[in-house]
A and B are shown apart, each in its own frame.
Chain A
Protein backbone atom coordinates (compact mmCIF):
# COMPACT_ATOMS: atom_id res chain seq x y z
CA UNK A 1 0.00 0.00 0.00
CA UNK A 2 1.43 3.37 -1.00
CA UNK A 3 0.26 6.89 -0.32
CA UNK A 4 1.12 9.73 -2.69
CA UNK A 5 0.58 13.47 -2.42
CA UNK A 6 -0.09 16.43 -4.74
CA UNK A 7 1.03 20.03 -4.59
CA UNK A 8 -2.63 20.93 -4.15
CA UNK A 9 -2.63 18.96 -0.88
CA UNK A 10 -4.60 15.90 -1.92
CA UNK A 11 -3.50 12.41 -0.93
CA UNK A 12 -4.23 9.17 -2.72
CA UNK A 13 -3.80 5.73 -1.17
CA UNK A 14 -3.28 2.92 -3.64
CA UNK A 15 -4.56 -0.62 -3.07
CA UNK A 16 -4.35 -2.66 -6.26
CA UNK A 17 -5.93 -0.54 -8.97
CA UNK A 18 -8.14 1.36 -6.53
CA UNK A 19 -7.16 4.75 -5.18
CA UNK A 20 -8.70 6.41 -2.13
CA UNK A 21 -8.53 10.21 -2.20
CA UNK A 22 -8.69 12.87 0.49
CA UNK A 23 -7.10 16.15 1.52
CA UNK A 24 -4.06 16.34 3.75
CA UNK A 25 -3.87 17.31 7.38
CA UNK A 26 -2.02 20.45 6.32
CA UNK A 27 -4.93 21.34 4.01
CA UNK A 28 -7.53 20.91 6.72
CA UNK A 29 -5.57 23.18 9.04
CA UNK A 30 -5.47 25.84 6.35
CA UNK A 31 -9.21 25.53 5.72
CA UNK A 32 -10.32 25.77 9.31
CA UNK A 33 -13.58 24.19 10.43
CA UNK A 34 -15.04 22.34 7.47
CA UNK A 35 -18.79 22.75 7.20
CA UNK A 36 -19.67 21.15 3.88
CA UNK A 37 -18.32 18.76 1.28
CA UNK A 38 -19.63 17.94 -2.16
CA UNK A 39 -18.41 14.61 -3.50
CA UNK A 40 -18.46 13.07 -6.99
CA UNK A 41 -21.09 10.43 -7.69
CA UNK A 42 -20.07 6.87 -8.52
CA UNK A 43 -19.46 6.35 -12.20
CA UNK A 44 -18.07 9.80 -12.86
CA UNK A 45 -14.93 9.86 -14.99
CA UNK A 46 -12.21 12.06 -13.56
CA UNK A 47 -9.13 13.28 -15.34
CA UNK A 48 -5.88 14.16 -13.69
CA UNK A 49 -6.03 17.67 -12.27
CA UNK A 50 -9.75 18.07 -12.99
CA UNK A 51 -12.25 19.31 -10.39
CA UNK A 52 -13.46 16.34 -8.38
CA UNK A 53 -14.98 17.61 -5.14
CA UNK A 54 -15.62 20.75 -3.15
CA UNK A 55 -14.75 21.40 0.47
CA UNK A 56 -16.04 24.43 2.31
CA UNK A 57 -15.33 26.18 5.55
CA UNK A 58 -17.37 29.17 6.70
CA UNK A 59 -15.33 31.71 4.76
CA UNK A 60 -13.70 29.68 2.01
CA UNK A 61 -14.59 27.18 -0.66
CA UNK A 62 -11.93 25.06 -2.32
CA UNK A 63 -11.93 22.62 -5.16
CA UNK A 64 -10.38 19.24 -4.65
CA UNK A 65 -8.65 18.09 -7.81
CA UNK A 66 -8.28 14.53 -9.02
CA UNK A 67 -4.70 13.43 -8.20
CA UNK A 68 -4.97 10.72 -10.85
CA UNK A 69 -7.38 9.86 -13.66
CA UNK A 70 -10.01 7.19 -13.15
CA UNK A 71 -13.63 6.26 -12.57
CA UNK A 72 -15.25 7.01 -9.24
CA UNK A 73 -16.49 3.86 -7.53
CA UNK A 74 -17.66 5.22 -4.21
CA UNK A 75 -17.84 8.43 -2.23
CA UNK A 76 -17.74 8.79 1.54
CA UNK A 77 -21.35 9.26 2.57
CA UNK A 78 -20.37 9.55 6.23
CA UNK A 79 -18.33 12.62 5.39
CA UNK A 80 -21.31 14.34 3.83
CA UNK A 81 -23.20 13.78 7.08
CA UNK A 82 -20.28 14.81 9.29
CA UNK A 83 -17.99 17.19 7.37
CA UNK A 84 -16.00 17.89 10.54
CA UNK A 85 -14.29 14.53 9.94
CA UNK A 86 -12.13 16.39 7.44
CA UNK A 87 -10.71 18.21 10.44
CA UNK A 88 -10.57 15.31 12.88
CA UNK A 89 -9.41 12.55 10.54
CA UNK A 90 -8.22 14.11 7.28
CA UNK A 91 -5.98 11.26 6.22
CA UNK A 92 -8.06 8.35 7.55
CA UNK A 93 -11.87 8.31 8.02
CA UNK A 94 -12.17 11.68 6.31
CA UNK A 95 -11.47 10.27 2.84
CA UNK A 96 -13.50 11.80 0.00
CA UNK A 97 -13.90 9.16 -2.72
CA UNK A 98 -12.43 6.02 -4.27
CA UNK A 99 -11.66 5.53 -7.92
CA UNK A 100 -10.23 2.86 -10.22
CA UNK A 101 -7.12 4.22 -11.81
CA UNK A 102 -7.08 4.45 -15.58
CA UNK A 103 -3.42 5.45 -15.93
CA UNK A 104 -1.47 4.24 -12.92
CA UNK A 105 1.72 5.70 -14.37
CA UNK A 106 0.44 9.13 -13.36
CA UNK A 107 1.39 8.16 -9.82
CA UNK A 108 5.05 8.48 -10.71
CA UNK A 109 4.70 12.26 -10.87
CA UNK A 110 3.26 12.58 -7.36
CA UNK A 111 5.22 13.11 -4.15
CA UNK A 112 5.83 10.46 -1.50
CA UNK A 113 5.36 11.27 2.17
CA UNK A 114 8.85 12.62 2.70
CA UNK A 115 8.80 14.78 -0.39
CA UNK A 116 5.40 16.20 0.58
CA UNK A 117 6.62 16.96 4.10
CA UNK A 118 9.56 18.88 2.67
CA UNK A 119 7.23 20.65 0.23
CA UNK A 120 4.91 21.82 3.02
CA UNK A 121 7.82 23.02 5.11
CA UNK A 122 8.99 25.04 2.13
CA UNK A 123 5.65 26.86 2.07
CA UNK A 124 6.19 28.61 5.37
Chain B
Protein backbone atom coordinates (compact mmCIF):
# COMPACT_ATOMS: atom_id res chain seq x y z
CA UNK B 1 0.00 0.00 0.00
CA UNK B 2 1.67 3.17 -1.24
CA UNK B 3 0.81 5.32 1.77
CA UNK B 4 2.19 2.94 4.42
CA UNK B 5 5.94 3.14 5.04
CA UNK B 6 6.36 0.26 7.52
CA UNK B 7 7.83 -2.93 6.08
CA UNK B 8 7.22 -6.39 7.51
CA UNK B 9 10.69 -6.36 9.03
CA UNK B 10 10.04 -2.92 10.60
CA UNK B 11 6.90 -4.30 12.13
CA UNK B 12 8.68 -7.33 13.56
CA UNK B 13 11.45 -5.31 15.12
CA UNK B 14 9.01 -2.76 16.54
CA UNK B 15 6.89 -5.49 18.09
CA UNK B 16 10.04 -6.90 19.65
CA UNK B 17 10.86 -3.48 21.16
CA UNK B 18 7.34 -3.23 22.51
CA UNK B 19 7.39 -6.80 23.76
CA UNK B 20 4.19 -7.77 21.99
CA UNK B 21 3.68 -10.94 20.03
CA UNK B 22 1.62 -9.40 17.25
CA UNK B 23 -0.29 -6.29 16.25
CA UNK B 24 -3.46 -8.10 17.29
CA UNK B 25 -1.96 -8.41 20.73
CA UNK B 26 -1.97 -4.59 20.97
CA UNK B 27 -5.74 -4.67 20.58
CA UNK B 28 -6.19 -6.88 23.62
CA UNK B 29 -8.27 -4.26 25.45
CA UNK B 30 -10.96 -4.59 22.79
CA UNK B 31 -13.66 -7.07 23.78
CA UNK B 32 -13.24 -10.24 21.75
CA UNK B 33 -16.81 -10.07 20.51
CA UNK B 34 -16.15 -6.80 18.69
CA UNK B 35 -12.80 -7.71 17.13
CA UNK B 36 -12.54 -8.77 13.52
CA UNK B 37 -10.03 -11.29 12.39
CA UNK B 38 -9.32 -9.77 8.98
CA UNK B 39 -10.33 -7.15 6.42
CA UNK B 40 -14.05 -6.56 5.98
CA UNK B 41 -15.18 -8.98 3.25
CA UNK B 42 -17.91 -6.80 1.75
CA UNK B 43 -15.52 -4.02 0.73
CA UNK B 44 -13.12 -4.23 -2.23
CA UNK B 45 -9.35 -4.49 -2.00
CA UNK B 46 -6.88 -1.66 -2.53
CA UNK B 47 -6.48 0.16 -5.85
CA UNK B 48 -3.72 2.01 -7.63
CA UNK B 49 -4.05 5.66 -8.65
CA UNK B 50 -5.00 4.70 -12.16
CA UNK B 51 -7.94 2.58 -11.06
CA UNK B 52 -9.20 5.18 -8.59
CA UNK B 53 -9.04 7.87 -11.27
CA UNK B 54 -11.00 5.70 -13.65
CA UNK B 55 -13.68 4.92 -11.12
CA UNK B 56 -14.15 8.41 -9.75
CA UNK B 57 -13.75 9.89 -13.22
CA UNK B 58 -16.70 7.84 -14.43
CA UNK B 59 -18.83 9.15 -11.55
CA UNK B 60 -17.81 12.73 -12.28
CA UNK B 61 -18.69 12.24 -15.94
CA UNK B 62 -22.30 11.55 -14.99
CA UNK B 63 -22.73 15.14 -13.80
CA UNK B 64 -23.33 18.18 -15.95
CA UNK B 65 -20.55 20.59 -15.04
CA UNK B 66 -21.91 24.12 -14.87
CA UNK B 67 -18.95 25.45 -16.83
CA UNK B 68 -19.69 23.19 -19.77
CA UNK B 69 -22.93 24.98 -20.62
CA UNK B 70 -24.73 28.30 -20.15
CA UNK B 71 -25.48 28.42 -16.44
CA UNK B 72 -27.54 30.94 -14.46
CA UNK B 73 -27.88 29.38 -11.04
CA UNK B 74 -27.40 31.34 -7.85
CA UNK B 75 -29.54 31.20 -4.70
CA UNK B 76 -26.62 31.01 -2.31
CA UNK B 77 -23.91 29.56 -4.55
CA UNK B 78 -22.34 31.45 -7.44
CA UNK B 79 -20.11 30.43 -10.31
CA UNK B 80 -17.28 32.94 -10.61
CA UNK B 81 -13.97 32.73 -12.37
CA UNK B 82 -11.28 31.76 -9.88
CA UNK B 83 -7.81 33.00 -10.89
CA UNK B 84 -5.28 30.18 -11.38
CA UNK B 85 -3.05 31.61 -8.67
CA UNK B 86 -5.67 30.82 -6.03
CA UNK B 87 -5.80 27.09 -6.63
CA UNK B 88 -2.04 26.84 -7.00
CA UNK B 89 -1.42 28.63 -3.73
CA UNK B 90 -3.92 26.70 -1.62
CA UNK B 91 -2.31 23.45 -2.75
CA UNK B 92 1.05 24.37 -1.31
CA UNK B 93 1.60 21.73 1.33
CA UNK B 94 2.56 24.33 3.93
CA UNK B 95 -1.00 25.66 3.80
CA UNK B 96 -2.86 22.51 2.80
CA UNK B 97 -1.35 20.06 5.27
CA UNK B 98 -1.02 22.23 8.38
CA UNK B 99 -3.34 21.96 11.36
CA UNK B 100 -5.03 24.80 13.22
CA UNK B 101 -2.24 27.22 14.24
CA UNK B 102 -1.87 26.10 17.85
CA UNK B 103 1.93 26.58 17.82
CA UNK B 104 2.23 30.19 16.67
CA UNK B 105 6.02 30.19 16.20
CA UNK B 106 5.69 27.69 13.34
CA UNK B 107 2.30 28.84 12.05
CA UNK B 108 2.89 32.50 11.29
CA UNK B 109 1.91 31.86 7.66
CA UNK B 110 -1.59 30.66 8.51
CA UNK B 111 -1.95 33.24 11.27
CA UNK B 112 -1.00 36.21 9.11
CA UNK B 113 -3.42 34.95 6.45
CA UNK B 114 -6.18 34.86 9.07
CA UNK B 115 -5.36 38.36 10.27
CA UNK B 116 -5.51 39.61 6.68
CA UNK B 117 -8.69 37.63 6.04
CA UNK B 118 -10.36 39.14 9.11
CA UNK B 119 -9.38 42.58 7.90
CA UNK B 120 -10.70 41.94 4.38
CA UNK B 121 -14.02 40.69 5.72
CA UNK B 122 -14.31 43.69 8.03
CA UNK B 123 -13.59 46.08 5.14
CA UNK B 124 -16.00 44.39 2.74
CA UNK B 125 -18.87 44.30 5.21
CA UNK B 126 -18.12 47.70 6.68
CA UNK B 127 -17.89 46.22 10.18
CA UNK B 128 -15.30 46.66 12.96
CA UNK B 129 -14.13 43.07 13.38
CA UNK B 130 -14.52 39.65 11.78
CA UNK B 131 -13.63 36.14 12.90
CA UNK B 132 -11.47 33.48 11.24
CA UNK B 133 -14.51 31.83 9.52
CA UNK B 134 -17.49 29.57 10.15
CA UNK B 135 -18.65 26.47 8.24
CA UNK B 136 -20.85 28.35 5.77
CA UNK B 137 -23.25 31.27 5.45
CA UNK B 138 -26.19 29.37 6.92
CA UNK B 139 -24.38 28.33 10.10
CA UNK B 140 -22.99 31.88 10.38
CA UNK B 141 -26.55 33.14 10.27
CA UNK B 142 -27.72 30.81 13.00
CA UNK B 143 -24.69 31.59 15.17
CA UNK B 144 -25.39 35.29 14.69
CA UNK B 145 -28.92 34.85 16.02
CA UNK B 146 -27.66 32.95 19.06
CA UNK B 147 -25.09 35.68 19.67
CA UNK B 148 -27.82 38.34 19.50
CA UNK B 149 -29.84 36.33 22.02
CA UNK B 150 -26.88 36.33 24.41
CA UNK B 151 -26.20 40.03 23.99
CA UNK B 152 -29.80 41.18 24.41
CA UNK B 153 -30.73 38.41 26.88
CA UNK B 154 -33.87 37.98 24.76
CA UNK B 155 -35.13 34.99 22.85
CA UNK B 156 -37.15 36.09 19.85
CA UNK B 157 -35.60 36.37 16.40
CA UNK B 158 -37.57 37.70 13.44
CA UNK B 159 -36.50 36.16 10.13
CA UNK B 160 -37.38 38.05 6.96
CA UNK B 161 -39.13 36.25 4.12
CA UNK B 162 -36.26 37.41 1.95
CA UNK B 163 -33.87 35.15 3.85
CA UNK B 164 -32.66 32.07 1.98
CA UNK B 165 -34.99 29.30 3.18
CA UNK B 166 -32.05 26.99 3.88
CA UNK B 167 -30.56 29.63 6.15
CA UNK B 168 -33.96 30.03 7.74
CA UNK B 169 -34.22 26.26 8.25
CA UNK B 170 -30.77 25.97 9.84
CA UNK B 171 -31.80 28.74 12.22
CA UNK B 172 -35.20 27.25 13.05
CA UNK B 173 -33.60 23.83 13.62
CA UNK B 174 -31.26 25.49 16.09
CA UNK B 175 -34.18 27.36 17.63
CA UNK B 176 -36.10 24.15 18.22
CA UNK B 177 -33.15 22.52 19.99
CA UNK B 178 -31.55 25.42 21.79
CA UNK B 179 -34.81 26.94 22.91
CA UNK B 180 -35.46 30.30 21.29
CA UNK B 181 -38.29 31.61 19.15
CA UNK B 182 -37.70 32.12 15.47
CA UNK B 183 -40.58 34.01 13.91
CA UNK B 184 -40.53 33.34 10.17
CA UNK B 185 -42.26 35.39 7.50
CA UNK B 186 -43.71 34.14 4.22
CA UNK B 187 -41.48 34.31 1.13
CA UNK B 188 -41.00 37.96 0.20
CA UNK B 189 -41.05 37.63 -3.57
CA UNK B 190 -42.75 40.94 -4.26
CA UNK B 191 -41.59 43.11 -1.34
CA UNK B 192 -43.70 44.90 1.22
CA UNK B 193 -42.68 43.20 4.46
CA UNK B 194 -43.07 45.40 7.52
CA UNK B 195 -40.23 44.18 9.69
CA UNK B 196 -39.83 47.37 11.70
CA UNK B 197 -43.43 47.11 12.83
CA UNK B 198 -42.84 43.68 14.28
CA UNK B 199 -39.93 44.58 16.54
CA UNK B 200 -40.98 44.64 20.19
CA UNK B 201 -39.38 44.55 23.63
CA UNK B 202 -38.90 40.78 23.42
CA UNK B 203 -37.16 40.85 20.06
CA UNK B 204 -33.48 39.97 20.17
CA UNK B 205 -32.82 40.50 16.48
CA UNK B 206 -34.17 40.94 12.99
CA UNK B 207 -32.49 38.93 10.24
CA UNK B 208 -32.58 40.28 6.68
CA UNK B 209 -30.75 39.18 3.56
CA UNK B 210 -28.99 41.65 1.30
CA UNK B 211 -29.62 41.19 -1.61
CA UNK B 212 -32.59 38.99 -0.65
CA UNK B 213 -33.00 35.44 -1.89
CA UNK B 214 -35.25 36.87 -4.61
CA UNK B 215 -32.54 39.33 -5.53
CA UNK B 216 -34.30 42.38 -4.08
CA UNK B 217 -32.22 45.11 -2.50
CA UNK B 218 -33.26 47.50 0.23
CA UNK B 219 -31.60 50.18 2.26
CA UNK B 220 -31.80 48.89 5.85
CA UNK B 221 -30.75 52.11 7.56
CA UNK B 222 -34.25 52.85 8.90
CA UNK B 223 -34.75 49.23 10.00
CA UNK B 224 -31.47 49.40 11.93
CA UNK B 225 -32.74 52.48 13.74
CA UNK B 226 -36.06 50.81 14.58
CA UNK B 227 -34.20 47.83 15.99
CA UNK B 228 -31.91 50.01 18.02
CA UNK B 229 -34.85 51.95 19.45
CA UNK B 230 -36.28 48.70 20.82
CA UNK B 231 -32.98 47.26 22.01
CA UNK B 232 -32.86 44.65 19.26
CA UNK B 233 -29.96 43.92 16.91
CA UNK B 234 -29.98 43.96 13.12
CA UNK B 235 -28.34 40.94 11.48
CA UNK B 236 -27.61 41.29 7.78
CA UNK B 237 -27.04 38.10 5.79
CA UNK B 238 -25.17 38.22 2.49
CA UNK B 239 -25.05 35.15 0.24
CA UNK B 240 -23.33 36.80 -2.74
CA UNK B 241 -20.21 38.42 -1.30
CA UNK B 242 -19.28 40.00 -4.66
CA UNK B 243 -22.21 42.39 -4.14
CA UNK B 244 -20.18 44.03 -1.36
CA UNK B 245 -17.94 45.45 -4.08
CA UNK B 246 -20.75 47.64 -5.37
CA UNK B 247 -23.48 48.08 -2.75
CA UNK B 248 -23.40 50.24 0.36
CA UNK B 249 -21.98 47.85 2.96
CA UNK B 250 -24.24 46.60 5.79
CA UNK B 251 -22.02 48.29 8.37
CA UNK B 252 -22.82 51.69 6.86
CA UNK B 253 -26.52 50.94 7.26
CA UNK B 254 -26.12 50.22 10.96
CA UNK B 255 -25.95 46.40 10.99
CA UNK B 256 -24.83 44.94 14.31
CA UNK B 257 -23.74 41.57 12.92
CA UNK B 258 -23.09 40.47 9.35
CA UNK B 259 -23.29 36.75 8.54
CA UNK B 260 -22.26 35.93 5.00
CA UNK B 261 -21.26 33.22 2.58
CA UNK B 262 -17.78 33.78 1.14
CA UNK B 263 -17.83 31.05 -1.53
CA UNK B 264 -17.97 33.56 -4.39
CA UNK B 265 -14.36 34.48 -3.76
CA UNK B 266 -11.85 31.75 -4.53
CA UNK B 267 -14.10 28.75 -4.02
CA UNK B 268 -15.72 26.55 -6.67
CA UNK B 269 -19.36 25.45 -6.57
CA UNK B 270 -18.37 22.04 -5.13
CA UNK B 271 -21.99 20.84 -5.20
CA UNK B 272 -22.58 22.91 -2.08
CA UNK B 273 -19.48 22.55 0.07
CA UNK B 274 -17.02 23.15 1.51
CA UNK B 275 -17.81 26.86 1.63
CA UNK B 276 -16.72 29.58 4.02
CA UNK B 277 -18.94 31.39 6.51
CA UNK B 278 -18.04 35.03 7.12
CA UNK B 279 -18.85 36.54 10.48
CA UNK B 280 -18.39 40.21 11.35
CA UNK B 281 -19.73 42.47 14.07
CA UNK B 282 -19.36 45.69 15.98
CA UNK B 283 -16.30 45.83 18.19
CA UNK B 284 -18.28 46.05 21.42
CA UNK B 285 -19.72 42.56 20.85
CA UNK B 286 -16.43 40.82 20.22
CA UNK B 287 -16.44 38.76 23.42
CA UNK B 288 -19.74 37.21 22.43
CA UNK B 289 -18.49 36.09 19.02
CA UNK B 290 -18.33 32.43 18.06
CA UNK B 291 -15.26 30.87 16.45
CA UNK B 292 -11.57 31.58 16.31
CA UNK B 293 -9.98 35.00 16.28
CA UNK B 294 -6.46 35.89 15.29
CA UNK B 295 -4.79 38.87 16.92
CA UNK B 296 -1.60 40.83 16.59
CA UNK B 297 1.12 40.82 19.22
CA UNK B 298 4.93 40.77 19.54
CA UNK B 299 7.39 37.95 20.10
CA UNK B 300 10.21 37.66 22.63
CA UNK B 301 12.44 39.74 20.34
CA UNK B 302 9.80 42.44 20.04
CA UNK B 303 8.89 41.57 16.45
CA UNK B 304 5.30 41.73 15.24
CA UNK B 305 3.59 38.36 15.14
CA UNK B 306 0.15 36.80 15.32
CA UNK B 307 -1.64 34.40 17.66
CA UNK B 308 -5.09 32.93 18.17
CA UNK B 309 -6.62 35.08 20.87
CA UNK B 310 -9.66 35.65 23.11
CA UNK B 311 -9.84 31.86 23.24
CA UNK B 312 -11.68 31.82 26.53
CA UNK B 313 -14.88 32.21 24.49
CA UNK B 314 -14.22 28.85 22.88
CA UNK B 315 -15.07 25.24 23.62
CA UNK B 316 -11.55 24.06 24.40
CA UNK B 317 -11.38 26.41 27.37
CA UNK B 318 -14.94 27.40 28.29
CA UNK B 319 -16.45 23.96 27.53
CA UNK B 320 -20.17 23.97 28.38
CA UNK B 321 -20.16 27.76 28.68
CA UNK B 322 -18.52 28.38 25.29
CA UNK B 323 -20.11 30.83 22.85
CA UNK B 324 -20.25 28.01 20.26
CA UNK B 325 -19.08 24.42 19.93
CA UNK B 326 -17.23 25.14 16.67
CA UNK B 327 -13.66 23.87 16.47
CA UNK B 328 -12.53 23.04 12.90
CA UNK B 329 -13.75 25.86 10.64
CA UNK B 330 -13.14 26.63 6.95
CA UNK B 331 -9.46 27.58 7.05
CA UNK B 332 -8.40 26.67 3.54
CA UNK B 333 -11.56 28.14 1.97
CA UNK B 334 -10.81 31.34 3.88
CA UNK B 335 -7.32 31.29 2.38
CA UNK B 336 -8.80 30.89 -1.11
CA UNK B 337 -11.16 33.78 -0.39
CA UNK B 338 -8.31 35.93 0.84
CA UNK B 339 -6.00 35.25 -2.11
CA UNK B 340 -8.77 36.01 -4.58
CA UNK B 341 -9.62 39.26 -2.83
CA UNK B 342 -5.90 40.17 -2.72
CA UNK B 343 -5.59 39.62 -6.47
CA UNK B 344 -8.64 41.74 -7.13
CA UNK B 345 -7.71 44.56 -4.79
CA UNK B 346 -9.71 47.78 -4.65
CA UNK B 347 -9.98 48.28 -8.37
CA UNK B 348 -10.51 44.65 -9.32
CA UNK B 349 -13.23 44.07 -6.77
CA UNK B 350 -15.13 47.20 -7.68
CA UNK B 351 -14.77 46.24 -11.35
CA UNK B 352 -15.87 42.66 -10.80
CA UNK B 353 -18.94 43.74 -8.86
CA UNK B 354 -19.82 46.34 -11.47
CA UNK B 355 -19.40 43.71 -14.21
CA UNK B 356 -21.64 41.22 -12.42
CA UNK B 357 -24.33 43.85 -12.09
CA UNK B 358 -24.02 44.86 -15.74
CA UNK B 359 -24.31 41.23 -16.86
CA UNK B 360 -27.46 40.85 -14.80
CA UNK B 361 -28.92 44.07 -16.23
CA UNK B 362 -28.24 42.75 -19.72
CA UNK B 363 -29.79 39.40 -18.92
CA UNK B 364 -32.85 41.02 -17.38
CA UNK B 365 -33.30 43.07 -20.54
CA UNK B 366 -32.96 40.02 -22.76
CA UNK B 367 -35.36 37.91 -20.71
CA UNK B 368 -37.88 40.74 -20.50
CA UNK B 369 -37.97 40.55 -24.28
CA UNK B 370 -39.18 36.94 -24.22
CA UNK B 371 -42.93 36.73 -24.68
CA UNK B 372 -44.72 35.83 -21.46
CA UNK B 373 -41.72 36.51 -19.22
CA UNK B 374 -41.88 39.27 -16.65
CA UNK B 375 -38.91 40.51 -14.62
CA UNK B 376 -40.20 40.93 -11.07
CA UNK B 377 -37.50 43.11 -9.50
CA UNK B 378 -36.74 46.68 -10.53
CA UNK B 379 -33.57 46.73 -8.48
CA UNK B 380 -31.08 43.92 -7.98
CA UNK B 381 -27.38 43.12 -7.90
CA UNK B 382 -26.57 40.06 -10.05
CA UNK B 383 -29.65 37.95 -9.40
CA UNK B 384 -33.34 38.62 -9.93
CA UNK B 385 -36.70 36.87 -10.14
CA UNK B 386 -38.71 36.33 -13.29
CA UNK B 387 -42.32 35.26 -13.61
CA UNK B 388 -43.06 32.61 -16.22
CA UNK B 389 -46.36 31.66 -17.77
CA UNK B 390 -45.67 28.00 -16.88
CA UNK B 391 -44.37 26.16 -13.78
CA UNK B 392 -40.68 27.02 -13.51
CA UNK B 393 -39.57 23.56 -12.37
CA UNK B 394 -40.69 21.97 -15.61
CA UNK B 395 -39.09 24.69 -17.70
CA UNK B 396 -35.79 24.27 -15.87
CA UNK B 397 -35.86 20.51 -16.40
CA UNK B 398 -36.62 20.88 -20.10
CA UNK B 399 -33.83 23.42 -20.56
CA UNK B 400 -31.41 21.17 -18.65
CA UNK B 401 -32.07 18.48 -21.27
CA UNK B 402 -30.89 21.07 -23.79
CA UNK B 403 -27.82 21.72 -21.66
CA UNK B 404 -28.86 25.09 -20.32
CA UNK B 405 -28.91 25.51 -16.53
CA UNK B 406 -31.64 28.10 -16.42
CA UNK B 407 -31.79 29.11 -12.76
CA UNK B 408 -33.45 27.94 -9.56
CA UNK B 409 -37.23 27.53 -9.46
CA UNK B 410 -38.66 29.29 -6.39
CA UNK B 411 -40.63 26.11 -5.72
CA UNK B 412 -37.38 24.20 -5.14
CA UNK B 413 -36.64 26.55 -2.26
CA UNK B 414 -40.22 27.13 -1.10
CA UNK B 415 -42.10 23.89 -1.89
CA UNK B 416 -45.62 24.49 -3.04
CA UNK B 417 -45.18 28.24 -3.33
CA UNK B 418 -44.68 30.54 -6.28
CA UNK B 419 -44.46 27.76 -8.90
CA UNK B 420 -44.23 30.37 -11.66
CA UNK B 421 -41.18 32.18 -10.29
CA UNK B 422 -37.62 31.51 -11.37
CA UNK B 423 -34.47 32.94 -9.73
CA UNK B 424 -31.83 33.82 -12.28
CA UNK B 425 -28.25 34.90 -11.65
CA UNK B 426 -25.60 36.25 -14.00
CA UNK B 427 -21.90 36.60 -13.30
CA UNK B 428 -18.79 37.63 -15.19
CA UNK B 429 -18.60 34.07 -16.52
CA UNK B 430 -21.71 34.48 -18.67
CA UNK B 431 -21.09 35.59 -22.24
CA UNK B 432 -23.49 37.40 -24.54
CA UNK B 433 -24.02 34.20 -26.46
CA UNK B 434 -24.86 32.29 -23.25
CA UNK B 435 -27.53 34.85 -22.54
CA UNK B 436 -28.87 34.79 -26.08
CA UNK B 437 -29.00 31.00 -26.01
CA UNK B 438 -30.93 31.13 -22.75
CA UNK B 439 -33.43 33.72 -23.99
CA UNK B 440 -33.95 31.90 -27.23
CA UNK B 441 -34.39 28.47 -25.63
CA UNK B 442 -36.78 29.96 -23.13
CA UNK B 443 -38.85 31.49 -25.89
CA UNK B 444 -39.02 28.09 -27.55
CA UNK B 445 -40.20 26.13 -24.53
CA UNK B 446 -42.74 28.59 -23.20
Within 8 Å by CB, do A and B touch in the complex? Answer: yes
Quote the shortest CB–CB distance from A110 to chain B (angstroms): 26
Which residues on the A side are within 8 Å of B221 (C-beta)?
Answer: none
| Of B75-83, B84-92, B235-243, B311-319, the one touching chain A | B311-319
Main secondary structure of the interface of B (DSSP, over half): helix
Assembled-state Cα–Cα distance A58/B317 (Å): 10
Which residues on the A side are within 8 Å of B318 (C-beta)?
Answer: 61
Quote the shortest CB–CB distance from B101 to chain A (angstroms): 15
Which residues on the A side are within 8 Å of B317 (C-beta)?
Answer: 59-61
**Number of A positions contacting B (CB below 8 A):** 6
Q: Tell me if A33 is interfacial: C-beta within 8 Å of chain B.
A: no
Which residues on the A side are within 8 Å of B309 (C-beta)?
Answer: 58
Assembled-state Cα–Cα distance A15/B113 (Å): 54
Which residues on the B side are within 8 Å of A59 (C-beta)?
Answer: 311-312, 317
Which residues on the A side are within 8 Å of B321 (C-beta)?
Answer: 61
Assembled-state Cα–Cα distance A61/B317 (Å): 7
Assembled-state Cα–Cα distance A60/B287 (Å): 15
Cβ contacts A24-65/B at 8 Å (1 or 0 each): 000000000000100000000000000000001011110000
Assembled-state Cα–Cα distance A61/B315 (Å): 11
Cβ contacts B298-333/A at 8 Å (1 or 0 each): 000000000001011000011001000000000000
Assembled-state Cα–Cα distance A61/B311 (Å): 9
Quote the shortest CB–CB distance from B295 to chain A (angstroms): 11
Which residues on the B side are within 8 Å of A56 (C-beta)?
Answer: 312
Which of B312, B318, B321 has the most chain A CB atoms inside 10 A of its CB?
B312
Quote the shortest CB–CB distance from B372 to chain A (angstroms): 62
Assembled-state Cα–Cα distance A58/B312 (Å): 7
Which residues on the A side are within 8 Å of B312 (C-beta)?
Answer: 36, 56, 58-61
Assembled-state Cα–Cα distance A4/B375 (Å): 75
Chain B residue nearest in CB terms to A38: B287
Assembled-state Cα–Cα distance A32/B44 (Å): 55
Residues of B within 8 A of A (CB): 287, 309, 311-312, 317-318, 321
Residues of A within 8 A of B (CB): 36, 56, 58-61
* 15 A-B pairs with C-beta separation under 8 A: A36-B287, A36-B312, A56-B312, A58-B309, A58-B311, A58-B312, A59-B311, A59-B312, A59-B317, A60-B312, A60-B317, A61-B312, A61-B317, A61-B318, A61-B321
Kindly list 13 other residue pairs between chains A and B, CB separation below 8 angstroms, not including A58-B311, A60-B317.
A36-B287, A36-B312, A56-B312, A58-B309, A58-B312, A59-B311, A59-B312, A59-B317, A60-B312, A61-B312, A61-B317, A61-B318, A61-B321
